[in-house]
Each structure stands twice: as C-alpha cells, then as structure tokens.
Amino acid sequence: MRFIDLCCLVPLSLLVLACQSTHSDAKDANPDKTEAKAKSEKGDDDKDAKEEKVKKKQRELDDARLQLTIARQETESADRKEKDDIQDAEYGMEKAPEALEQFQKVTRPLELAKAQLSYDRTKERAEESKQELEELMSMYKKEEFAALTKELVVNRGKKNLEFANRNLEQDETEMAHTRDIELPRKEKDLQMALQKADSKLREEHKDQEKLANENELKLRKAERAVDDAEKELEKLKTDKGDAKVAKP
C-alpha cells in the first residue's frame, strides 16, 4: 500500500470509531428517559384495562338491575294469576254445595213428582179405557145392535185400552229410570263436583304458598345480584380514584 493511501485510511477509521463511540455514549446516556417511556406506556395500558373493567362491570350492573325489574314483574303477574285461581276455586267451592243442596231439596223431589204425576195420569187413562170397554161389552150384550156397529165400537175401545196400557208401561219405565238411574247419577255428579271443588281449593292454597316462596327466592337472588354488582363496581371505581356509583 502506498503511503498516501495509508494516510487517507487512518483518519477515516478514526472517524468511524468516533461515531460509534458517540452513538454508544448517547444510548448509554439516556436510560432514565427510556425507562420513563416504558413506565408511561405500561401506565396507559393499566388505565385502559381498568376502564374496560369498569365498563364491563357497569354493563353487568345494568343487566342485573333489569333482571331484578323483570323478576318483580314476573312475581307480580304470578301473584295476580294465583289470586284469580284462588278466587275461582273459592267460587266453585261456594257454588258446588249449593247446587247439591238445591238438587237434593228441590230438583230431585220435583222430578220424581213430575214422573209420578205423568204415570198416575197415564194409569188413570188406562183404567178409564178399560172401564169404558167393559161398559161397552156389557151394553152390547144386553141390547141388540148391528153387528158391524158393535164390532167397530168394541174394536175402538180395545185399541184405546191398548194404547193406554202401552203409555202406562212407558211412563212406568221412564219413572223408574228417573228415580233409580238418572237422578242418582245427577246427585253423584254433584257430589263429585263438590269434592273436586274442595280439592281444587286446597291445591290452590298449596300452590299459592309454594309460589310465594319461589317468588321470594327469585327476588332475593335478583336483589343480591344487583347488590354484588354495585359493590364490585364501586370498588373498581374507588381503586381507580373515581366517585362511587349511586344506587338507583
């Protein structure tokens, strides 16, 4: 290498070393500034995280308050429905014994009396037809009448008696059916209706007690959820340095 080239190379090398040294010194000279910047960035991150927690907890509180409102509405609606059911059951229990008593004291005796009256009338008509026929037969034996007239009158009398006897049989059958089957069945139905009304009323009272316990438990849970959410939000804001959240 020529001497002149060497003379140029040496200053350049020294210049490069000087720049590296300066850059290193500058880097080493500002450690506090770099650390402060890192702390600042970390602080911003922590602040953002806390704010996000506060927002999330506020949403949870709003949801809990809404759930409490819904729970109150549901319990009020259930209470109203149960009161209506109790009222219906009480009315049924009031009406059922009245219907049974009305049947036993009025309806059944009246139905039996009507059936008996119809039977007695039919029986009387049958008896009258029988007597009329006997009188005709007796009269035609004593007096002389045309054979054709006699036959027509006697046959008419026999038919009237036959129809009267058939009506009597029908009325007797209907009266027996009314007395032995229809009326006892109606009475049994009314007795069963009374038992069902009594059972329904007792069940409704049990359901009312159960519903009251369920509603109380539902409201307790909803109120506790709101209270817990308020306390957690208040703690987050206190830790953050903000004011506490006012309860609604």
Q: Map out the domains of the chain with their CATH numbers.
A: 54-240 (1.10.287)
Q: Is 2 left (phi over 0), alpha (psi -120 to 50) or beta?
A: beta
Give the DSSP letter string of 162-185. HHHHHHHHHHHHHHHHIIIIIHHH
Average pLDDT over residues 84-112: 90
Average pLDDT over residues 191-210: 91
Percent of the chain with pLDDT over 90: 19
Average pLDDT over residues 70-85: 90
20-34, 97-111, 229-243 — most confident range: 97-111
Amino acid code (one letter) for 56: K
Token digits of residue 26: 């500058």
pLDDT tens per residue, range 8-59? 444 555 554 545 554 444 445 455 556 655 555 555 666 777 888 888 888 9
95-99, 159-163, 239-243 — most confident range: 95-99
Q: What local confidence, expressed as pLDDT, does residue 37 receive?
A: 59
| Cα gap 180→178, rounded to integer Å | 6
| Cα gap 186→104, rounded to integer Å | 10
Residue 140 has pLDDT above 80, yes or no: no
Average pLDDT over residues 101-112: 90
Q: What local confidence, expressed as pLDDT, does residue 199 receive?
A: 92
Q: What local confidence, expressed as pLDDT, does residue 222 receive?
A: 92
Q: What local confidence, expressed as pLDDT, does residue 162 receive?
A: 85
Q: What local confidence, expressed as pLDDT, does residue 118 receive?
A: 87
3-state SS class at 85: helix
Count Cβ atoms below 10 Å from residue 211 Cβ, excluding itself.
16
Average pLDDT over residues 149-166: 77
When pLDDT is cut at 50, 70 and 90, the band that residue 149 belongs to is: low
What length is written for the chain?
Answer: 248
Best CA proximity match to 155, nearest among 127, 123, 133, 187: 133
Residue 245 has pLDDT above 60, yes or no: no
Q: What local confidence, expressed as pLDDT, does residue 221 receive?
A: 92
Cβ pair 168, 123 in contact under 8 A: yes
Q: What local confidence, expressed as pLDDT, does residue 243 receive?
A: 41
Question: Cβ contacts of residue 212 below 8 Å, gap of 6+?
Answer: 79
